[in-house]
Amino acid sequence: MTSSSPWIRRVALTPPSLKDNTADADRLVAALKKELATERVDIDLDLLAQLPAILRRNDFCARCSVFRDRGGWVLTGIDRSDHPRPAAGLAVDLGTSRVVLLLIDLADGRTLGEEAFDNPQLAFGPDVLARLHHAESPGGLKELKDLVIGGLNRAIDRLCRSAGIEPADVCAVSVAGNTSMTHLFLGLEPRWIIREPYIPVVNRPGVLKAAGLGINVSPFARVLVFPNIGSYFGGDLIAGILFSKLHQRNDPALLVDVGTNAEVVLGHKDWLIGCAGAAGPALEGGVARMGMMAGPGVVDRVAIDPETRRFDVHAIEEKPPTGICGSGVIDLAAQLFLAGMIDIRGKLVSAACGDHLKIIEGIRHLVVVPARQSATGQDLTFSQVELDSLVRSKAAMYTILETLTMTVGLNLSELGTVYVAGTFGCFINPRSAIAIGMLPDLPLDRYVPLGNSSLQGAALALTSAAAIDEIDCIRDRITYLELNVNPDFMNRFSAAKFIPHTDVGRFPSVKSQRKEPPHAGHAG
């Protein structure tokens, strides 16, 4: 956060006279051009109409809020210089499941509040595909757009009320989301995103007017929409790179975002290469599908004593467990493997699971929390089907990392830092992810959790003019690796479908921790 804001500028104009009869707008624009060292300052016509009164009310001194719009700048608000209204910015992480908002004081970069809401498009299905199909039905696209904009406007109201400001005080918004969410947000047809050759309507939406999008903030506010690389590599990733500063590093590092899709970027200041799992056939559904969203009562950490096989389950806010989130699932699988309760193929081992094993509708289930301890009064279980799916997902993730690093001639062990972004609220424990062979067996201190890097990247764009200018540079520098057409991918994927890997030598730290399962009683 910077202390002197790039977006708030005070100007003291020379009042007009017979010798200097420059128009109000031209006078202000000339001063702002000088102040901002730019060739272009735009002012909306309706804001122009307010200039004469505002300038004369305060002896031609004014507090201007400005924003970057590609090469130039745009005036997003003007007020008297003494005792002006607050000027706020709003960063939005436009998640498939959850939309998170951060309200920022543009004058000093201070956080004024945070809000989140479930993406109301969930009514049409938890996964993106169902929504994109709904968008093709008559009126469907508008319905989906209106849902997310409506949710956003209600959240803005709540956020502003609790921060003691008006929505009209918000004059800059930045939005980071994946390509599909961004298209629905903008009301753009996603039809060709999901059909070969997978073409978005736009990759660089740029800076738009909030009013044109239906967002109830200042009528002069601008919305920076993070660009995407393609249909499966979105603005949320670009925001994540911006926040991690991967693009400024001297040595190569990896950024892993295990969201609805598994998206990965490798690089440093000279090059960036990225790929996304959803484009490949292996990761359909993704890791996220298995877990629910974070919230009170959601299991986010699991420990199993390898000797007693006693479960120690942690639920958020210590509430009775209601379900299990992504990081909880990875923890669970890792602990099951280390306690010898699943084998190297991820199959439940009857002899080791004991009472925890149940057959429901012919499918083997592991009871994670018994009915008497759960919030629902039902057993909280995890099925063999879900385990199989997790194994495919983790194999895909590892294969993506392996393929990406090998493509640039590096070894996974050469990675100095692995940034782990989590857009779920529950963050993956690298130790567990290593234990199941989802992430490479690097020293734990090389794993750096980023939190909601999409939101933080969006927030960075509201506190730094340099950051805004970096966004398009990052986008243009990324080489996108198409996994669909990579011949080695499927071979590597098959090898990675064991826990932790067919080549256990790659995971020395896991081997030492594991308790061998009993030899009898494997799953059938």
Does residue 117 bind its own copies (CB under 8 A)?
no
Contacts (CB under 8 A) with its own copies, residues 435-494: 482, 484-485
Does residue 18 bind its own copies (CB under 8 A)?
yes
- What is the dihedral sign for C-alpha 319, 321, 324, 330? positive
Does residue 39 bind its own copies (CB under 8 A)?
yes
CB 347 within 8 A of CB 384: yes
One-letter amino acid for residue 342 of the chain:
I
Between 238 and 367, name the residue whose CB sits nearer to its own copies.
Answer: 238
Q: How far apart are CA 346 and CA 160, in angstroms?
A: 48
CB of residue 49 to its own copies, shortest distance in Å = 5
CB of residue 451 to its own copies, shortest distance in Å = 29
Q: How far apart are CA 503 and CA 332, in angstroms?
A: 22
Does residue 191 bind its own copies (CB under 8 A)?
yes
Q: How far apart are CA 463 and CA 460, in angstroms?
A: 5
CB of residue 43 to its own copies, shortest distance in Å = 8
* Binds its own copies (CB under 8 A): choice among 187, 306, 370, 521: 187
Does residue 359 bind its own copies (CB under 8 A)?
no
Contacts (CB under 8 A) with its own copies, residues 204-233: 204-205, 208, 212-213, 230-231
Between 278 and 387, name the residue whose CB sits nearer to its own copies.
Answer: 278
Does residue 203 bind its own copies (CB under 8 A)?
yes
* Binds its own copies (CB under 8 A): choice among 34, 70, 110, 345: 70
Between 199 and 444, name the residue whose CB sits nearer to its own copies.
Answer: 199
CB of residue 376 to its own copies, shortest distance in Å = 44
Q: How far apart are CA 118 and CA 127, in angstroms?
A: 13
* Binds its own copies (CB under 8 A): choice among 1, 22, 268, 523: 22
Does residue 52 bind its own copies (CB under 8 A)?
yes
Burial class (CB in 10 A: 0-12, 13-18, 19+), 280: buried
Q: How many residues bind its own copies (CB under 8 A)?
A: 44
What CA dihedral angle connects 357, 360, 365 and 370, to 10 degrees?
Answer: -70
Between 4 and 17, name the residue whose CB sits nearer to its own copies.
Answer: 17
Region for residue 362 given its phi and psi (left: phi exceeds 0; alpha: psi -120 to 50; beta: otherwise): left
The DSSP call for residue 384 is H
Structure tokens at 362: 């012919």
Structure tokens at 31: 């001063």
What string marks each residue from 280 to 309 as x (binds its own copies by CB under 8 A) or -?
A: ------------------------------
* Binds its own copies (CB under 8 A): choice among 16, 120, 140, 281: 16
3-class SS string, 171-187: EEEEEEECHHHHHHHHC
Return the range that interacts with its own copies (CB under 8 A); candidates 80-88, 130-138, 190-198, 378-386.
190-198
CB 224 within 8 A of CB 252: no
Positions of E strands within 182-310: 206-209, 222-225, 253-258, 262-267, 272-276, 298-304
Does residue 195 bind its own copies (CB under 8 A)?
no
The DSSP call for residue 325 is B
Does residue 38 bind its own copies (CB under 8 A)?
no
Contacting positions for its own copies (CB under 8 A) = 16-18, 20-26, 39-40, 45, 48-49, 51-53, 70-71, 186-189, 191-192, 196-205, 208, 212-213, 230-231, 482, 484-485
